[in-house]
Amino acid sequence: MKYTSTRGDVMVDETYALLHGLAEDGGLYVPSTFPSNSLTYEMIANKSYQEIAVIVLEKLFTSFSQKALREMVQSAYSEINFDTSDIAPLHSLSEHVSILELFHGRTQAFKDMALSLFPYLLVAAKKIEKESKNILILTATSGDTGKAALEGFKDVEGTHIQIFYPTDGVSPMQKEQMQKQEGSNVNVTAINGNFDDAQQFLKRLFVDETMADTVAQKDVMFSSANSINIGRLAPQIIYYVFTYAELVSTGAIHTDETFNVVVPTGNFGNILAAYYAKKMGIPIGKLICASNQNNVLTDFFNTGTYDMNRPFYTTISPSMDILESSNFERFLYYISGEDSERTSFWMETLKKTGCVSVNEDELKRIQHDFSGAYIDDEETKSIIDEVYNSYGYLLDPHTAVAMGAYIKELQLHLELEQQHTVIAATAHPFKFPDPICEALHIQQGHNAYESLEAISAVTGVAFPKQLLELRNKKLRFTKTIDKEAMKEEILLFVDSFVK
Ligand SMILES: *Cc1c(COP(=O)(O)O)cnc(C)c1O
C-alpha cells in the first residue's frame, strides 16, 4: 500500500511512512487509495480479536506477509500484555449503551491498544527498508501515550525512546508511572509548558534537516510514537471492527443495524480510527466527539470553525487537555475530498491565525457523521457519581466526559435513545484517584495509593497489578527542563547511547 501526504502528492511505501512518522512536507501520511467498504460482517463473524486484527491490518499494510502480521498480532495482543483474553471487552451498561473497555493493557489506558503492536510494525518496517540507523522515538505525551510507548519500546533492540511530558499537565499516577520507568533505552523528561508546546516542538523537529543530519552522523534517526504515525492509527481501527462483531453476536444489534460511538477526544486519533472503521464498511452511525472544557472541537462540530485562540485549561481529564489536535489534519483531508491543496491551505491558515473554517456544504457533510459535546470538571465528577450509584460501574474521568457528552446529545436528539451507542472507555479509573475520591465523596489518603485503597474498599474495584507493583519501584527520571531546552535534552540522550 502506498501512502501519500495530506499536504502534497508524495508517494511512499507504508514501511517508509511507519519509519518516518511525519511526511517531509509537514503533512501526515494517509493511504493513497483508501480501502473503502472493504470489510463485511461475514469476514469478521465469530473471529477472535487477534484474527480480526490481521484482517484489518492487511487492508492498510500490504508489505508484510500474513504470517508476519499474525506473529506480530499474537505477540502484541497476548495474555502477558492484556489482563483479559477478550483484549477489548464490551461491558453492557443498559439495553442501549455499552462500554468498550480499552484499558486492559500494560499501562491501563487505551494507548496500549496501539502501542503494544506498534514497535513490532516499526522493527519490521525498518528491516524491509534496510535501515541500519538506530531509531530514536521522540514522543510528547499528555499522560498516557508516554507510559504506553515506554512499555512498548522498553529494551526493543535498535530503538531508543525519549518522552516529554508537561510537568503540571499529567495526573500524579501518570507521572509516577513515567518517572519509575524501567529499561536501558529510555529517557523521560518533564517540561515547563503544556502538551501543545511539546507536540509543536517535535513536529518542527521532525522536518528540521539540520538536526536530522546532526544525528544521522551518529547513526541515529528520529521517529514518532504519537498518533501522527499511521502505525498508531491502524491498530486503533481494530477494536471498532471487533465491537461490531461483538454487538451482533450478543444480539445488541442486527448485522444491518448501525451503532453510534462516543469518544473522549484529545489528539483526534481514537475518533479518527472510528471514522476509518466506518469508511471501511463498519456500520457506525453517529460519531460523537466528547471534549472537556478545552472544547475547541465541540465548537467546530457545531459551527464549522476551529479556533485555537482561547484559554487553555488544566482539567481532571488531562489526556484531553489539547487545543491543537494533530489528527484533525487527516480529518480535514477527508472533508476536502482528499484534496491536499485545500488541506495545505487550511493548515497554513491555522498556523498563521490559529483559526480555520470549512464552508457550509462541508459542515453539512461533517454533521451527517459527527457531532460534538463537552462537559466541565464539576459535571464530570457528577457523572462518575451518578453512573456508579445507578449501575455500580466506575468510570475514569475521560470516560465520564464521553458519558456526559452522550447524555447531552440525548437531550438534543431523542432518536439516539432507541439506537445502540458504544462509549469508548479510555482509561482505568485507578489512574486518577483524586477526582474519583472527590466524585464519590471518599476521604483522600496521604498519597495516591492510600486513596486507591479507600476507593477499592468502597467500590470493590480491584487494583490493576501494574499499579500495585509500581508502588515499590524506585523513581528514576525526575528532571524538569524549560521547553526551549528540549533540543539539547535530545542531543544529550543521543550522546549517552552512541558509542
Ligand atoms: C489519549 C487519551 C485520550 C484522547 O485520545 P486521542 O486519540 O488523542 O483523541 C482520551 N482519554 C485517555 C485516557 C487518553 O489516554
Do 259 and 278 belong together in one domain?
Answer: yes
Q: Please state, in angstroms and rounded to a whole number, the distance separating the CA atoms of residues 489 and 355.
A: 32
How close is the Cα of 322 to the center of ligand 1, in Å?
10
Does 118 map to a domain?
A: no
Are 458 and 442 in contact by the 8 Å Cβ rule? The answer is yes
* Ligand 1 binding pocket mutation candidate from 300, 426, 431, 436 (most atoms within 8 A of CB): 426
CA distance 435 to 317: 9
User: Do residues 451 and 470 share a domain?
Assistant: no
In the reported structure, the alpha carbon of residue 195 is separated from the centroid of ligand 1 by a whole-number distance in angstroms of: 13
Same domain, 478 and 451: no
**In terms of residue numbers, what domain contains 189?**
134-218+464-498
Residues 278 and 184 in one domain: no
Name the residue of 261, 296, 320 whose CB sits within 8 Å of the most ligand 1 atoms, as the mutation to test its pocket.
320
Say if residue 341 is in the same domain as residue 458: yes
Residue 268 and residue 301 in one domain: yes
- Judge whether 468 lies within some domain: yes
Angle at 55 between CA 54 and CA 59, to 5 degrees: 105
Answer yes or no: do 448 and 411 share one domain. Answer: yes
Q: Collapse the DSSP code of 77 into the 3-class scheme (helix H, G, I; strand E, B; otherwise coil) and give the result.
A: coil
C-alpha cell, 225: 510514537
For ligand 1, atom 15, which residue shows the shortest CA distance? 144
Kindly state whether residues 246 and 341 are assigned to the same domain.
yes
Cα 432 from chain centroid (whole Å): 18
Report the nearest atom of ligand 1 relative to the CA of 110: 15
Look at residue 54 and tell me if it is in a domain: no
Same domain, 169 and 199: yes
- Nearest-angstrom CA–CA distance, 94 and 420: 10
Residue 225 lies in a domain: no
CA-to-CA distance for 359 and 386, rounded, in angstroms? 39
CATH code where residue 414 lies: 3.40.50.1100
Residue 364 and residue 334 share a domain: yes
Number of domains the chain contains: 2
pLDDT band per the 50, 70, 90 thresholds, residue 269: very high
Question: Taking 80 as the threshold, does the pLDDT of residue 162 lie above it?
Answer: yes
Q: Is the CB of 315 under 6 A from ligand 1?
A: no
Whether 17 is in a domain gets the answer: no
* Mean of the per-residue pLDDT values of the chain: 96
Q: Residue 250 class from Cβ within 10 Å (0-12 exposed, 13-18 middle, 19+ buried)?
A: exposed
355 falls within a domain: yes
Q: Is the pLDDT of residue 499 over 80?
A: no
- The answer to the question of residue 184 being in a domain is yes
CA torsion angle 62 66 69 70 (round to 10): 160
Which is nearest to 265 in space by CA: 195, 328, 333? 328
Average pLDDT, stretch 140-144? 87
Ligand 1 proximity of 320 Cβ (cutoff 6 Å): yes
Is the pLDDT score of 362 beyond 90?
yes
Q: Is 59 in the pocket of ligand 1 (CB under 6 A)?
A: no
User: Do 109 and 147 touch, CB atoms closer than 8 A?
Assistant: yes
The string of pLDDT tens digits covering residues 380-425 is: 999 999 999 999 999 999 999 999 999 999 999 999 999 999 999 9
Residue 237: CB atoms within 10 Å: 27
Q: Does residue 282 fall inside a structural domain? A: yes
DSSP string, 176-233: HHHHT---SSEEEEEEES-HHHHHHHHHHHHT-HHHHHHHHTTTEEEEE-STTSHHHH
pLDDT for 206: 87
Q: 220-259, pLDDT tens digit by residue?
A: 999 988 888 999 999 999 999 999 999 999 999 999 999 9
Q: Ligand 1 centre from 484 Cα, in Å? A: 26
Same domain assignment for residues 362 and 415: yes
What pLDDT sits at residue 404? Answer: 98
- Do 269 and 410 belong together in one domain? yes
Pair 453, 382: CB distance under 8 Å: no
292 C-beta closer than 6 A to ligand 1: no
pLDDT at position 360: 96
Q: Is the CB of 319 under 6 A from ligand 1?
A: yes
State phi, psi for 441 to the nearest 5 degrees.
60, 45
Ligand 1 in reach of 171 Cβ (< 6 A): no
The C-alpha atoms of residue 284 and residue 255 are separated, in whole angstroms, by 11
Ligand 1 pocket: which of 267, 289, 401 to mutate (most atoms within 8 A of CB): 267
